[in-house]
Structure 1
Amino acid sequence: MRRLLLPAILALVAVSSGVAAARAVPPASVVADTSDLVVAQAPDAPVLTPRRLPALLAQPIGTARLVQSLDALAATSPGAKCLLVSEGTRVLYDRDVAAPLAPASGMKLLTAAAVLAHVDPDERLRTSVTAAQISAGGILDGDLWLVGGGDPVLGTAPWAAHFIRQPALFTPLEGLADAVMAAGVTEIRGRVVGDESRYDQVRYIEGWPERYIADDQIGPLSALSVNDGFAEWEALDVAFPDPAAGAAGVLTDLLRQRGVVVAGEAASGPAPGSTVAVASVDSPTMAELVGQMLRESDNGTAELLLKELGLRVGGEGSSAAGRAAVASSLSTLGLPTEGLVVADGSGLDPGNRVTCRLVHELLGNIAEGGAIESGLAVAGTTGTLARRFVDTPVSGQLRGKTGSIRGVASLSGFVATRDGGELTFASIQNGIDRFDDGVPFQDSLGAALAAYPALPSLDEIGPDGYPDAAS
């Protein structure tokens, strides 16, 4: 390869030099005065030695090395796969980029893009407390209604504290209890009733494997979800059988802890149309929710945002409406949706199908510094990549969205290169026995991209026997 590379580069320079010389020939009528010429010393190396070539001419070699490395990686890695790598508008590598594959949590990138196409990044989701009326002395003769607004991170401080990576993003229900007290409520002679009517009451996606539910890998979906829909989460996850009633029960306990008398036990049901506002609490911004969903790969947040999208676009707070809205939104954004199958918002469903071309173009069109870009996990530092690529050249240089379910591994995002550039990449593997089988592929991919452009030294492309220009 080296024998072929050198003549090609020298030929290119020779042609360029010839053209330049032809343009520099003076007219025949001009006679040059050579009396002041100084005879130049013989060069340390021939004019056409590669040691005198601009670094730019070595760039194709760096690209060729990357292609060779990725070809070998793809050939030795198990399962079906697609891979697309670009630098700016220049595609450096593509392999089966139009093949529809299950993306696992890479699906959250699509959900994020669709949500942000319809919801202002600064918007917040509100959880409200209402009542028929508050009598003198702060006594409610009837029920107090806890009305869900779709906040996916509504929870209590102990729940937020149990996550490994801190601080966890959440909306403190304790703050809502304090606000109810601040409104003057001292006694509730009825119950606290949870209203989840903003969304439907379909708790799980039809295509999810039964083990997700049996093992409580994700809580029941509800517009009024507290603590991800779990009554217990320490030693063993135990989901609320009725999420809205469960949320009302948690608020009941918080109010009683603060000295408010609550006569009845928590329940669920839609609030009547004629109520007055007592208190409310707002979620983090939509940009923050999307960022947390991507960085931590939060399945519950993804599925609730999907229902919110369905409500905003299709007028129905359901997963089905949300799935249709994702597909139509991506098409409207001009992204290539051939082969796209949207089965859920999180990527848990093995029936999802996306292409590397779609994911790559989505990444190439996101706003710089926006919610999606800033929400990507950073290798060796944050989110789902906090323990990946540690103490390697990739640490801190790769930002991406991970994905893993049984038989699937994906990683897509951006890599800062050694020459100060940036690569955009999308990779998906299917048909592997377990996620660990996909880790070596991703580790090697990250290393190869971070090393780009692996330019050859002058010793590699030039003949021996000539000193470097600087020597």
Structure 2
Amino acid sequence: MPADDAFTALRAHDHRRPPHRRGAGPLMLLALIMLLPAVALFGLWRYADARDDEPQALDLIADVAPETPAEPLRTGLMSWRRVPTLVAQDANLDQFRDDASRFADTLGNRSCVTVSLNGTPIASHAADRAVIPASSMKLLVGAVALEVLGGDHTFTTTLVGTVENGVVTGDLTLVGGGDPLLTSAAFPIENDVEPVFNETSLDALVDQLVASGVTSVSGNVVGDGSRYDDELYAPDWAPADRGVEAGPVDALLVNDARVTSQGLRSENPSLGAAQELVAVMRSRGITIGGEAVPGTAPDGAAELASVDSAALSGVVAEMLTTSDNNTAESLLKELGYSEGRPGTREAGLAVVRRQLDAWGADLSGTNLTDASGLSATNLVPCSVIHTVLARSGHADDLARGLAVAGESGTLSDVFVGTPVAGRLAAKTGTLANAPFDADPPAAKGLAGYLPVRGGGRIEFTLLLNGPMINDQANYRPVWDDMVTALASYPAGPRPRELGPRR
């Protein structure tokens, strides 16, 4: 009987009874009938609420919001078409898992991959196998630096000395604060393959001296890099990489230790920085009685000028986008400095391991020896990098700092004209092996994020190890296959296609 007829019959039956004999049974029945739709909707809400921990990657609100229906819905209240969002997600996730798993199954026994959606695992291959990460190491160091030092942390470089009547009496000391991006205006950074950005101006220090009335220095110009230790190169870097791919690393580093007038990299970064400062000062008309030398600032020396770096989030972005090895190694020593002076590579690595453990990473088999990834003795599982990408809490800063496919940094000419161009943001990694038929193997990495249509993002880590895998002919087909699998999501039905029928 329709609800309206039932309600009429109950009223007629009720009027035939004396008022004082009127019972509660019919009213309870009516209440139950009216509550049935609410109970059903409550059940659907609880079902959907229980799904909160599952990936929510599609923008489904805008997709399913209907206009005022022209006619009543024919779909039953309990039909699956009443929850098209959940059904669409399940269909898309199943297809994505299939596509990603098919790709993962193609990898060899010396490589690994992990794929997740908003932190929820989708597919993997040998995720806990420790392999050579190459420059993917920078993701670990960048995330830990953001966590320990803070995204607003800055590096301060100062000039100290004593001034009388416009003359610096005695020495003027340039004190390094760990800024890896200190750059002079005269240095042609545009000639570098990957020019630095978010750099700090060395010239700004001299401008402050001039503005304060300084016209001469009676003594030497001293470069002080004592904030960090004297290890300029990681001990197991290949000799051919030292001073070319990375280093020397110091707390006082100007132009990556290169002196503009000499066109060479100084083996003593503090000396090179002092020499570059002398050139800038003379160009501003300041005379110098002594010469450029390395040394240490006297205790209690007065500050005459200072300059701050960009915020750490910007320094990390420069490191990730350009794969700046010196920036990575400097950040590692700064992490060590946060534990006690001076900053060392080993102390920094201890901080990295401790923070990765705090984030829940399984460090079994992991071996960390530098920050840049130049060392072939670094061994890191894909699962550890996945932890950083998905669970460190710094995904937004990392994503903003990564190279973008077809647009910037080390991915500027990669994936051009593909569906991921302008969307995929990742850290690349490359390490050659010589001889190619002997261990350790070459390494090629790609790890980062792919935003999903409608919201959310895919996290992925691919670390390839093998003879000559750094050759484009060998790694690009693998990269292309993975990106094809990632870009396939979502590929299933949209919620509007599964909604209620009229």
TM-score tier (shorter)? 0.7 to 0.9
1:343-382 per-position Cα deviation (integer Å, ceiling 9, x unaligned): 1111111111111111112111244674323212221122
Structure 2 counterpart of 1:262, one-letter code: I
Q: Tell whether 2:138 aligns with 1:116.
A: no
Q: Tell whether 2:186 aligns with 1:149.
A: no
The residue that corresponds to 1:36 in the other structure is none
Which structure's CA Rg is the greater one?
Answer: 2
Counterpart mapping for 1:12-31 below 5 A: none
CA contact (8 A) 1:229 1:243 kept: yes
CA contact (8 A) 2:167 2:216 kept: yes
The residue that corresponds to 2:407 in the other structure is 381
CA contact (8 A) 2:227 2:341 kept: no
The residue that corresponds to 1:87 in the other structure is 117
2: CA distance, partners of 1:384 / 1:303:
19
The residue that corresponds to 1:464 in the other structure is none
1: CA distance, partners of 2:121 / 2:396:
24
2: CA distance, partners of 1:222 / 1:379:
32
Counterpart mapping for 1:130-209 below 5 A: 130-131=160-161, 133-136=162-165, 138-157=166-185, 158-163=187-192, 168-209=197-238
The residue that corresponds to 1:212 in the other structure is 241
Question: Residues 366, 376 of structure 1: CA spacing in aligned structure 2 closer, same or farther, 3 A cutoff?
Answer: farther
Pick one of 96, 99, 103 that aligns with 2:133. 103
- Deviation of the 1:178 alpha carbon: 1.0
1: CA distance, partners of 2:239 / 2:190:
29
- Deviation of the 1:162 alpha carbon: 3.0
Pick one of 267, 278, 294 that aligns with 2:320. 294
The residue that corresponds to 1:221 in the other structure is 249
Question: Residues 368, 197 of structure 1: CA spacing in aligned structure 2 closer, same or farther, 3 A cutoff?
Answer: closer
SS of alignment partner, residue 334 of structure 1: coil
SS of alignment partner, residue 128 of structure 1: strand
2: CA distance, partners of 1:92 / 1:162:
42
Structure 1 counterpart of 2:140, one-letter code: L
2: CA distance, partners of 1:294 / 1:277:
33
2: CA distance, partners of 1:107 / 1:328:
15
1:407-447 per-position Cα deviation (integer Å, ceiling 9, x unaligned): 11111111123565421111111114142222221222112
Pick one of 293, 318, 323 that aligns with 1:267. 293
Pick one of 410, 413, 420 that aligns with 2:448. 413
1: CA distance, partners of 2:290 / 2:131:
51
The range that moved more, 83-92 or 343-352, is: 83-92
SS of alignment partner, residue 80 of structure 1: coil
- Deviation of the 1:400 alpha carbon: 1.6
- Deviation of the 1:151 alpha carbon: 0.5
Counterpart mapping for 1:389-404 below 5 A: 389-404=415-430
The residue that corresponds to 1:230 in the other structure is 258
Q: Tell whether 2:478 aligns with 1:453.
A: no
Structure 2 residues without counterparts, runs of 5 or longer: 1-35, 41-73, 75-79, 433-441, 495-499
1: CA distance, partners of 2:142 / 2:196:
22
Q: Tell whether 2:375 aligns with 1:346.
A: no
Q: Tell whether 2:370 aligns with 1:333.
A: no
Structure 1 residues without counterparts, runs of 5 or longer: 1-19, 25-42, 44-49, 458-468
Question: Residues 166, 348 of structure 1: CA spacing in aligned structure 2 closer, same or farther, 3 A cutoff?
Answer: closer
The range that moved more, 446-455 or 297-306, is: 446-455
The range that moved more, 157-166 or 356-365, is: 157-166
Structure 2 counterpart of 1:154, one-letter code: L
Q: Tell whether 2:472 aligns with 1:444.
A: no
2: CA distance, partners of 1:233 / 1:453:
56
1: CA distance, partners of 2:455 / 2:169:
67
CA contact (8 A) 2:368 2:378 kept: yes
Question: Residues 233, 294 of structure 1: CA spacing in aligned structure 2 closer, same or farther, 3 A cutoff?
Answer: farther
How high is the TM-score relative to the length of structure 1? 0.80
The residue that corresponds to 1:33 in the other structure is none
1:171-198 per-position Cα deviation (integer Å, ceiling 9, x unaligned): 1111111112122211112110101111
CA contact (8 A) 2:259 2:275 kept: no
SS of alignment partner, residue 389 of structure 1: coil
2: CA distance, partners of 1:105 / 1:233:
31
2: CA distance, partners of 1:376 / 1:354:
20
Question: Residues 320, 165 of structure 1: CA spacing in aligned structure 2 closer, same or farther, 3 A cutoff?
Answer: closer
Structure 1 counterpart of 2:255, one-letter code: N
- Deviation of the 1:265 alpha carbon: 1.8
- Deviation of the 1:301 alpha carbon: 0.4
2: CA distance, partners of 1:167 / 1:228:
10
2: CA distance, partners of 1:218 / 1:455:
47
How high is the TM-score relative to the length of structure 2? 0.75
Question: Residues 331, 233 of structure 1: CA spacing in aligned structure 2 closer, same or farther, 3 A cutoff?
Answer: farther
Question: Residues 152, 101 of structure 1: CA spacing in aligned structure 2 closer, same or farther, 3 A cutoff?
Answer: same
SS of alignment partner, residue 284 of structure 1: coil
The residue that corresponds to 2:280 in the other structure is 254
CA contact (8 A) 2:101 2:124 kept: no
1: CA distance, partners of 2:99 / 2:83:
25
Question: Residues 448, 232 of structure 1: CA spacing in aligned structure 2 closer, same or farther, 3 A cutoff?
Answer: farther
For these two proteins, the number of residue pairs brought into alignment is: 416
CA contact (8 A) 1:102 1:351 kept: yes
Structure 1 counterpart of 2:225, one-letter code: E
SS of alignment partner, residue 131 of structure 2: coil
CA contact (8 A) 2:196 2:322 kept: no
Counterpart mapping for 1:239-250 below 5 A: 239-250=265-276
1: CA distance, partners of 2:492 / 2:164:
78
The residue that corresponds to 2:347 in the other structure is 321
Q: Tell whether 2:433 aligns with 1:433.
A: no
Pick one of 154, 159, 169 that aligns with 1:129. 159
Pick one of 365, 372, 375 that aligns with 2:391. 365
2: CA distance, partners of 1:271 / 1:167:
28
1:127-167 per-position Cα deviation (integer Å, ceiling 9, x unaligned): 11111x2122x122311111111100001123433345678
CA contact (8 A) 2:260 2:276 kept: no
Q: Percent identity of the aligned residues?
A: 37
Counterpart mapping for 1:52-67 below 5 A: 57=87, 62-63=92-93, 65-67=95-97
Question: Residues 364, 72 of structure 1: CA spacing in aligned structure 2 closer, same or farther, 3 A cutoff?
Answer: closer
Question: Residues 440, 419 of structure 1: CA spacing in aligned structure 2 closer, same or farther, 3 A cutoff?
Answer: farther
SS of alignment partner, residue 163 of structure 2: coil
- Deviation of the 1:263 alpha carbon: 1.9
CA contact (8 A) 1:417 1:451 kept: no
CA contact (8 A) 1:160 1:170 kept: no
- Deviation of the 1:333 alpha carbon: 2.9
